[in-house]
A and B are shown apart, each in its own frame.
Chain A
């Protein structure tokens, strides 16, 4: 199992680990879980840990080693643009979602560049079509999305902020008096991952 977990391209769930064996020799789930727990313990203090993520198991580097390991990859990984993150968040919380639903929430058209980035990274895929005129594609997140963002499952997503009760005036007043969080200051964006300029057209 140790070998399989290292060789695989993604987090492996128990079911796939079981399938590695011949049917008559396959261990039970209980045996697998016990073995995985052993593995987890064995790696607990090492530079590489066994982590439960994305509905399966995966070896990941200890975050504390990051400052050094990053140098292997020539510096910081590029930031994800706000368009990509907002679209990803909408799909994650509202899946399955159509392009129109995403555009409705963000108030801008969904550029093909954003969708391309999300699908190429394997975080988003088409999960079906909505049975309405036009039969638009429905988008959903993938297990790879979960493990990339350190989530065990969709339930692990932090809950959405509540829509405030009260009248419009109350909300306006409250918003107007909130301190502007730093991230709201425009102009702070570092170079982002988008390949194409003019992202949000």
Chain B
């Protein structure tokens, strides 16, 4: 602004330039800074304001200003979106790269402009910012014209439908039926315990030791297959109730216990084997598995 263009006079002198140490009260600053839609928006504004001679380190000057604004925002205790800080870090990185001495680029290559990515983002944002402004300027409903509509006639109260007694009973019956579908199932505590089964197996093998944690010291003598299924029982299984030094796997599995029983037995065997209390062995491949005390 030249002296002729001055819009005000301070102490008789034309006021042409903001003083460097102008104090902006925090509330005004807050309004100013909050009107940016994010770091890209702020950067675009700073670049436009910049109007200095452009040189390869112009980003550095802009970066410095950006940091100043971010610092001001922090001091004004504005809630800074994380993106502002990410941008500050990006600019700091670019600035430091510009300042570091660079090795001379190979003869043919163009050095990639480190600002290229940021510039691209700024350009892309600018396109949509302008598109948004263009959209805003278009004549639009509720502002420049209104949609003409004939309000439908049942805007008022709808008459309540009538219901008969039979419909009411039907609805109730339906509700009862549906409630049965939502019955809860209570899961009881496990009927078979792995540890108990481990003790039982050991007992069958002639080991009177019990597995800790299997409940009372006395485990019920467990005779697999006693419930009369008979399936899978062999002559060796005629040793019911008698302790033997080795058992066949099949003799231990009792289908009548269901899948839970089979799983529990299997787990018990694995645990016993892991504890090295029993050995599992086979005479040859594909022959029955035997279990014996170790």
**Chain A residues within CB distance 8 Å of chain B:** 3, 6-9, 48, 58-63, 66, 69, 73, 76-77, 80, 82-83, 85-86, 88-90, 92-93, 105-109, 147-151, 158, 160-161, 163-164, 167-169, 171-173, 175-178, 180, 183-184, 186-189, 198, 200-201
**B69 smallest CB distance to A (angstroms):** 11
B126-145 Cβ-contact flags toward A at 8 Å (1 or 0): 11111111111011111111
With A7-B150, A107-B38, A164-B123 in contact, is A93–B143 under 8 Å at CB? Answer: no
Give Cα distance in the complex from A150 to B142, angstroms.
Answer: 11
B interface residues, tally (CB under 8 Å): 61
Which of B45, B131, B134 has the most CB atoms of chain A within a 10 A radius of its CB?
A: B131
The docked-state distance in angstroms from the alpha carbon of A93 to that of B131 is: 9
Known: A107-B39, A163-B124, A183-B133. A169 touches B144 (CB 8 A): no
Is the C-beta of B149 less than 8 angstroms from some C-beta in chain A? yes
A108-B37, A158-B134 are contacts. A178–B148 as well, Cβ < 8 Å?
Answer: no
List B contacts of A158 (CB < 8 A). Answer: 131, 134
Among A73, A86, A163, A183, which residue has its beta carbon within 8 angstroms of that of B142? Answer: A73
Distance, CA A168 to CA B33, complexed state (A): 26
Say whether B37 contacts A83, CB under 8 Å.
Answer: yes
B261 to nearest A CB, angstroms? Answer: 43
Question: B52–A108 contact, CB under 8 A?
Answer: no
B-chain residues with CB within 8 Å of residue A163 when the two chains form the complex: 120, 123-124, 127
Of A48, A161, A172, which is within 8 A of B127 by CB?
A161
Give me 12 other A-B pairs in contact (C-beta within 8 A), A63-B144, A175-B47 excluded. Answer: A61-B148, A63-B145, A83-B37, A92-B135, A105-B125, A106-B125, A107-B40, A108-B83, A164-B123, A169-B54, A176-B51, A184-B48
A150 touches B113 (CB 8 A): no
User: With the chains together, A6 CA to B152 CA distance in Å?
Assistant: 9
Contact B47 A58 (CB under 8 A): no
Pick the contact of B37: A106, A173, A175 (CB < 8 A): A106
Q: Contact residues of B with A, CB < 8 Å? A: 31-33, 35-41, 44-45, 47-52, 54, 56, 58-59, 79, 81-83, 87, 113, 115-116, 119-121, 123-136, 138-150, 152
A-side contacts of B141, CB under 8 Å: 60, 147-150
Q: Contacts A148-B140, A169-B54, A172-B58 hold; do A108 and B38 have CB atoms under 8 A apart?
A: yes
Minimum-distance CB pairs A-B, first 9: A108-B38, A186-B35, A107-B40, A85-B132, A6-B150, A59-B148, A89-B132, A89-B131, A86-B132
Nearest CB of B to A88, in Å: 7
Q: What is the bound-complex CA distance between A160 and B115, given in angstroms? A: 23
Given A85-B133, A198-B79, do A171 and B138 touch, yes or no (CB 8 Å)?
A: no
| Known A150-B138, A176-B54, A183-B133; contact A171-B149, beta-carbon cutoff 8 A | no
Q: How far is the CA of A69 from the CA of B138 in the complex (A)?
A: 19
Q: Most chain-A Cβ atoms within 10 A of its Cβ — which of B52, B135, B149?
A: B135
Query: Whole-angstrom distance between the alpha carbons of A92 and B115 in the complex?
Result: 29
Residue among B44, B48, B82 with max Cβ neighbours from chain A (10 Å): B48
The answer for the CA separation of A151 and B133 in the assembled complex, in Å, is 16
Contacting B128 at CB < 8 Å: which of A90, A148, A187?
A: A90
Do A177 and B135 touch (CB < 8 A)? no
By the criterion CB–CB under 8 Å, are B123 and A88 in contact?
no
Inter-chain contact A171/B128, CB cutoff 8 Å: no
Question: A86, B37: Cβ atoms under 8 Å?
Answer: yes
- CB neighbours (8 Å) of A201 from chain B are 79, 81
Q: Which of B31, B115, B150 contacts A168 (CB 8 A)?
A: B115
Q: CA A91 – CA B115 in complex, angstroms?
A: 27
Known: A69-B146, A161-B130, A200-B37. A149 touches B135 (CB 8 A): yes
